[in-house]
Amino acid sequence: MSSRGVAAEFIGTLGLVTVVVGSGIAASRLSPADAGLQLLENALATTAGLFVLIVVFQPISGAHFNPVVSVVDAALGYRRWRDVLAYVPAQIAGAVGGAILANAMFGLDAVSVSSNERLTWSHALSEVVATAGLVVVVFVLARTGRARYAAPAVAAYIGAAYWFTSSTSFANPAVTAGRVFSDTFAGIAPGSAVMYVAAQLSGGALGWALVLLLAPIQRRDGVRIG
């Protein structure tokens, strides 16, 4: 386990939640009467920010920024479980720090627990679908020797999933936890967050099974290696 990797996961997840929450706050101020435009602005900023963060941190830590991705990474044999035990707390701490930073940059209370209730079964189903899809994108690329496409593919997928899921595709337990601490457009109430995390873990398990179904043999640049 590399301390640089843990630091990269903390900083990268902090940056991701700063982008998500900060752009959500900016969107609600720039387009207060148009929820669709707010979502578009939030989605575009998140897509761009996620692309940059993956490009920067992928060589250092793998650019997971997501406990589900870290767990599946270990389950597929790419990483040791002790690395996951170090990555996950760093991701959660980074996510909370990102929400606090975004709040502060926009002159809000640094810590404010969200009152944005998202507790519906359609949202839970959306999180299962969004998280499973994310896992498939990341690991089918990895297992078919195309991990170099992860940054554009993951960013594009999350940007699209903002719109094709009713939950706006959190797809990440750490990001969900961080967004609890911002009572803004991008926030989520604690009770809803618990349901989201449960759905995301279920989606991660489904995604892992789909990866094994779709890409059972590891390949690198088209050559079988497993």
Question: What one-letter code names the amino acid at 55?
Answer: V
What is the pLDDT averaged over residues 77-85? 94
* pLDDT for res 2: 81
Q: Is the pLDDT of residue 222 over 80?
A: no
Ordered domains of the chain (ranges, CATH):
3-224 (1.20.1080.10)
Nearest to 175 by CA among 183, 186, 165, 163: 186
For residue 80, the 8-state DSSP code is: -
Q: In the block, which residue shows the tokens 């301390």?
A: 3
User: What does the block give as tokens for 61?
Assistant: 């830590």
* pLDDT for res 1: 59
Neighbours of 140 (CB within 10 A): 16
pLDDT tens, residue by residue, 126-177: 999 999 999 999 999 999 999 999 999 999 999 999 999 999 999 999 999 9
pLDDT tens, residue by residue, 179-207: 999 999 999 999 999 999 999 999 999 99
pLDDT tens, residue by residue, 13-40: 999 999 999 999 999 999 999 999 999 9
Compute the distance between CA of residue 146 and CA of residue 25 in angstroms, rounded to an integer.
35
* pLDDT for res 226: 35
Compute the distance between CA of residue 63 and CA of residue 182 in angstroms, rounded to an integer.
24
